[in-house]
A and B are shown apart, each in its own frame.
Chain A
Amino acid sequence: AQTVTQSQPEMSVQEAETVTLSCTYDTSESDYYLFWYKQPPSRQMILVIRQEAYKQQNATENRFSVNFQKAAKSFSLKISDSQLGDAAMYFCAYRRIAYSGAGSYQLTFGKGTKLSVIP
């Protein structure tokens, strides 16, 4: 079974600074997706960034980028120029890729990291 571990329950960052959130995972699959989701106080789940395991290039979305280390099974999220609106719970998630049939597309989530942004 796949597991996702986020070892930092809480983090804080000064506004305009950079912060990195850690995530490790365990899988026997060679191909899969990894995601970071943001959950603000409204509790809606918002996709921040996605990484395909077969791509060596790290995904980036504006101020958000990942450091994907496949051999180490590590997938960290870097937020640059942090803004007050970045304050939220951040969840790392894993999904296997099933190439035949309907398969299983469920997301496996970590426990989350609560990010606070200090003005």
Chain B
Amino acid sequence: EPEVTQTPSHQVTQMGQEVILRCVPISNHLYFYWYRQILGQKVEFLVSFYNNEISEKSEIFDDQFSVERPDGSNFTLKIRSTKLEDSAMYFCASSWDRGKQYFGPGTRLTVT
């Protein structure tokens, strides 16, 4: 079965640095999402992306975040200037339609 993949699996960065988290959604999917999960807490929606633009974003997704689909396969989340509280598991998800979302294995981001 096709899978969503994410790289890297673990990223350690210093506060103030920029990070780019990468995702390869399932190839024929049209809708893309980023979620995050701070350790011990629930999964929170960050942003959804469709037709090469953001369709919705949460209040967490402020100006330090951006998303891009630079080519036909990758979907990236950039955090411009990381803060300690950005430490979390970041999940990418994709879906063909408005139904089932398939999640990637996540990238664990540690900001020191």
Contacts and interface: CB of A to CB of B under 8 A. Distances in A.
A46 interface: yes
Interface of B: 31, 33, 35, 37, 41-45, 48, 50-51, 55-56, 58, 89, 91, 93, 95, 98-106, 108
A55 B43 CA distance: 26
A97 B98 contact: yes
A106 B33 contact: yes
A112 B48 contact: no
A42 to B, nearest CB: 7
A47 interface: yes
A6 B103 CA distance: 21
Interface in A72-119: 91, 93, 97-98, 102-112
Contacts of B44: 109
Contacts, number: 66
Minimum-distance CB pairs A-B, first 6: A45-B103, A102-B55, A106-B45, A109-B43, A44-B105, A102-B50
B91 A45 contact: yes
A105 B55 CA distance: 9
Contact of A107 (B45, B51, B104): B45
Contact of B103 (A33, A44, A50, A110): A44
26 contacts: A37-B103, A43-B37, A43-B105, A43-B106, A43-B108, A44-B103, A44-B104, A44-B106, A45-B91, A45-B106, A47-B101, A50-B99, A91-B43, A102-B50, A102-B51, A103-B55, A104-B48, A104-B55, A105-B48, A106-B48, A106-B58, A107-B35, A107-B45, A107-B101, A111-B41, A112-B42
